Amino acid sequence: MKVNKILALFILATVIAGILILIAYSRVWGKTEIECKIHINEQLVMESVYGESPTFAIWLENPASGEVKTIFVTNRAGNNDWEGKAEVPALPLWTKISESERQFRKESPEEEIDAASGATPTPGYFTVRAKAKPDSEWLCWIEMNLAGDYNDTYKEFDEETKITDEFAIGQPALVYRAAIQAKIDNIVVPEIVGMAVTNADEIIQPLSGITTAINVFDEITISIVKPKPKIINK
């Protein structure tokens, strides 16, 4: 009798587990996500004055409507928290983009937001995903600045001009871009399209005086993947 009860409970638990798994897979059936995978070069980070991982933001732009949505931004830039310092223009382009994005969200509060402000990733691989309708087309943007990565052009103190880099920007923020369609297994590699500096209305091209900054992100891929099935949606 006791054996029969144990067997019945085992069968019941197996059936429930199977149902939950089916529900999890049904939730993601036919859906797609954009996955951005970045490798941060540890050696270049350690060679910078502060030895801290770069500040960066990743956002998507709808090329038809011009709508933008941030999918990740490091904590300090996202929350404008610079440990007691005044606002630091580390990501000039994203700062402008985020202002227009916030206005859009106010006007369309029903729109789903994937954006997440998170702790600055340590050197190594970093991955973030965002929902995307199947077959939809997007421009994927990344802006990155490594504080204190000085070189002969971008110095901590310029003896000729007598100007100090008060915000420790070092080499200007680099801007990456890639176009992608949300079809499973599509993979693109973003290209550097210029650099962003404070008070400039447009991305500056070509790169001028940039050296090590182009290798801080030494691997970037943007892929279209299937969402991961989850029994419990958070």
Domain positions in the chain? 1-30, 32-225
E-strand stretches of 114-233:
117-118, 124-132, 137-145, 157-158, 163-164, 173-181, 187-188, 191-196, 217-225
87-127 tens-digit pLDDT: 788 999 999 988 777 766 555 544 444 456 677 888 999 99
Position 113 scores a pLDDT of 42
> In sequence order, which residues have a C-beta less than 8 Å from that of residue 45 and are 6 or more positions away?
51, 52, 53, 54, 123, 146, 216
CA distance 138 to 181: 6
Position 83 scores a pLDDT of 67
Long-range contacts of the stretch 195-198 (C-beta < 8 A, 24+): 196/91, 196/92, 196/93, 196/143, 196/172, 197/92, 197/172, 197/173, 198/89, 198/92
CA distance 89 to 195: 13
Name the nearest CA neighbour of 119 among 85, 73, 83. Answer: 73
Q: Where are the alpha helices (DSSP H) in 54-142?
A: 75-79, 92-107
Amino acid 102 reads R
How many other C-beta atoms can be found within 10 angstroms of the C-beta atom of residue 84? 5
Per the structure block, which two tokens stand in for 190?
């973003």
CB 21 within 8 A of CB 27: no
Model confidence, pTM: 0.83
CA distance 226 to 220: 19
Position 142 scores a pLDDT of 98
Position 59 scores a pLDDT of 96
Residues in the chain where the model's pLDDT stays below 70: 1-3, 8, 12, 15-30, 83-86, 103-117, 229-234
Position 15 scores a pLDDT of 67
Position 98 scores a pLDDT of 86
Half-sphere exposure (Cβ direction) of 153: Cα atoms closer than 13 Å: 9
Position 114 scores a pLDDT of 46
CB 222 within 8 A of CB 181: no
CA distance 157 to 149: 13
Position 41 scores a pLDDT of 97
Longest CA–CA separation in the chain, Å: 92
